[in-house]
A and B are shown apart, each in its own frame.
Chain A
Amino acid sequence: MICFMIEVKDIKKLAELSRLQMTETEMADFAEEFDSILNYVAQVKNVVGELGERTAGELRNVMRGDDKPNVRGAKTEVLTQEFPTREGNYLKVKKIL
């Protein structure tokens, strides 16, 4: 069996990529759990029979016309009410640059 060694620095990198703040202890715990989980799921390599090339399956596009929109403004209030911070009908966010 292949033994993965997930280190705390790997978890740190993943946490940064997925925008998750984590403490050192949490990252150490995750590193340990990931070893056992990844070793388990690595069984995908032990399958019986030939694995085909990755295929797209029976996928097809399902299109619909971009028509009959909501009446303008009909949903504005319910949607803006969910904004954590708003100014009038605008969503207020911090300066980007």
Chain B
Amino acid sequence: MIDLKKLTIKKAHEDLKSGKYTAVDLTKAYLENIEKKDGDIHAYLEVYEDCLERAKVVDRRIKNGEMTALMGIPLSIKDNILFEGHIASASSKILENYRATYDATIITKLKAEGAVIIGRTNMDEFAMGGSTENSAFGPTKNPHDLSRVPGGSSGGAAASVASEMALGAIGTDTGGSVRQPASFCGVVALKPTYGAISRYGLMAMGSSLDQVGPIAKTVTDVEILFRALQGPDKYDATTISYVVNDLPEKTKLRIGIPREFLKTEGIDSEVLKNFEEALQKFRLLGYEIKDVEMPNLPYALSAYYILMPAEVSSNLARFDGIKYGLHKDGQNVVEDYFLSRRAGFGQEVRRRILLGTYVLSAGYYDSYYNKAVALRELITTEYKNAFEEVDIIVTPTSPIPAFKLGEKSNNPLEMYLADIFTVPVNIAGVPGLSIPSGFKEMDGKKLPLGIQLVSAHQKEEILFRAGKDFLEEN
């Protein structure tokens, strides 16, 4: 019997290498756990029937002397990533029966590494949401309290890792979609530098913001996943080439706190208390801590809810029911569009398409879109200046712990405000890492809390070091 509770990617790798168990054994252990738990949690939309077959192939590769850091490791993928021959629906009715016609570059990489992709995880439709309640196929529940949301949009991904239904998960992050669910579920997630990981074969939401992000139990595991996925891709012109080195052992790191930003209304007092305790821990670890001035961070959310819907309205124009996906018949082609999109898109998707159309319309373009673009530059400069004084900027990941299912579904603005700390990171394109920092007790349940570490562009090694120090890994 493999003890999944304590298992990490790193440990499983050693076990597979020494032949303690096989990739098939490990995959079976996860499948059994999914069988046991996923009825309640609903992290998966589909567990791939062929995953054991693929684990067998991996075992043959291992027997032939091949080995990589991810060989034989069972991973889940978010439902907006194309895996050839398998359904990829983005949790939307409009793609319910859509079968991917090619592999995303990250899938090609995972296949080469020999990872065992066991299934596709639930998400907010087209990654729009922060609770996974916007899935057309029912919400995912938080493994720590089934009456609460797991966060989103990569809620299924985070829940699959938190409940030992996968050793790691690949999600995507446009405004906090791997970090916030990781924080709600008590696991680790990284939103890498914009351009670090190829998005070829990923369904676009906000193209100037989207990034692939790994989720796992430890910072070490997230780093392993990141290193396997990172790198330039000729099929994604936004990818960049850079090397993430290990930091020299004795590097002293400085942490900056945007104090004013933490005075934002609506932050849970326990979240703030936990945050201060986390800072104290960093102090004891020898980190220097000082305040930094970043006066425009509170406005990042406004810029985000202009830029992102604008990009959504353009990106989702392709779903017209003509060449693939759901099709509804009308009197003529134009009516086909109206009916197919009506039947295919859920409420939040429609809301964002309309918002985007509005902010891009001739009369309002200058007062919204152009202002948001200019503000984005200002925020990016603020980060650049801050990183001349400090190495890491730390905030809570989310202003609140996991909320109840249905609690915010009728108030879109309130749901958007939960992204306040994660969104600026996507706006500036810098990397952000969410790590567990404790719990808040509520209704007899322990709800995980998380803190977010942010570094300058292409400096993921700083986040890995600080995250490992904090979680006492190694």
Contact = CB atoms under 8 A, between A and B. Distances in A.
Nearest to A65: B234
A94 B375 contact: no
A11 to B, nearest CB: 7
Interface string B330-368: 001110111101100100001101110111010000011
Contact of B375 (A37, A44, A53, A83): A44
A51 B302 contact: no
Interface stretch (B17-25, B46-54, B185-193, B318-326): B318-326
Given A54-B370, A54-B373, A62 B237 contact: yes
Most buried by B among A21, A22, A42, A85: A21
Contact of A44 (B101, B237, B302, B345): B302
A19 interface: yes
B99 interface: yes
B98 A20 contact: no
A91 B323 contact: yes
Interface residues of A, number: 47
B459 interface: no
Given A18-B353, A18-B357, A82 B303 contact: no
Chain B interface mostly: helix
B202 interface: no
A82 B101 contact: yes
Given A30-B351, A84-B324, A94-B332, A44 B413 contact: no
Interface in B399-430: 412-413, 416
B341 A19 contact: yes
Given A33-B351, A47-B296, A82 B337 contact: no
Contacts of B357: 14, 17-18
Interface string A26-51: 00001001101110111111111101
Contact of B299 (A15, A44, A52, A95): A44
B321 A84 contact: yes
B442 interface: no
Nearest to A50: B378
B372 interface: yes
B354 A51 contact: no
Contacts of A95: 332
B374 interface: yes
Contact of A91 (B302, B322, B332, B339): B322
B99 A41 contact: no
A26 to B, nearest CB: 8
B469 interface: no
B224 to A, nearest CB: 28
B355 A34 contact: yes
B275 interface: no
B97 to A, nearest CB: 9
A77 to B, nearest CB: 10
A89 interface: no
Contacts of A42: 302, 367-368
Contacts of B313: 18
A49 B295 contact: yes
* A-B interface, 6 closest residue pairs, ranked by CB to CB distance from nearest: A84-B327, A62-B237, A82-B324, A21-B342, A48-B295, A51-B374
26 contacts: A18-B341, A19-B317, A19-B337, A21-B339, A33-B412, A41-B302, A42-B368, A43-B299, A43-B302, A44-B306, A44-B372, A52-B377, A52-B378, A54-B370, A54-B373, A55-B374, A62-B238, A64-B234, A75-B102, A78-B99, A78-B101, A82-B101, A83-B323, A83-B324, A91-B323, A93-B333
Given A37-B416, A75-B102, A94-B332, 18 more contacts: A11-B354, A14-B358, A17-B361, A20-B353, A21-B342, A30-B350, A33-B412, A33-B413, A34-B358, A37-B355, A47-B378, A49-B296, A54-B370, A55-B374, A78-B99, A84-B321, A84-B324, A95-B332
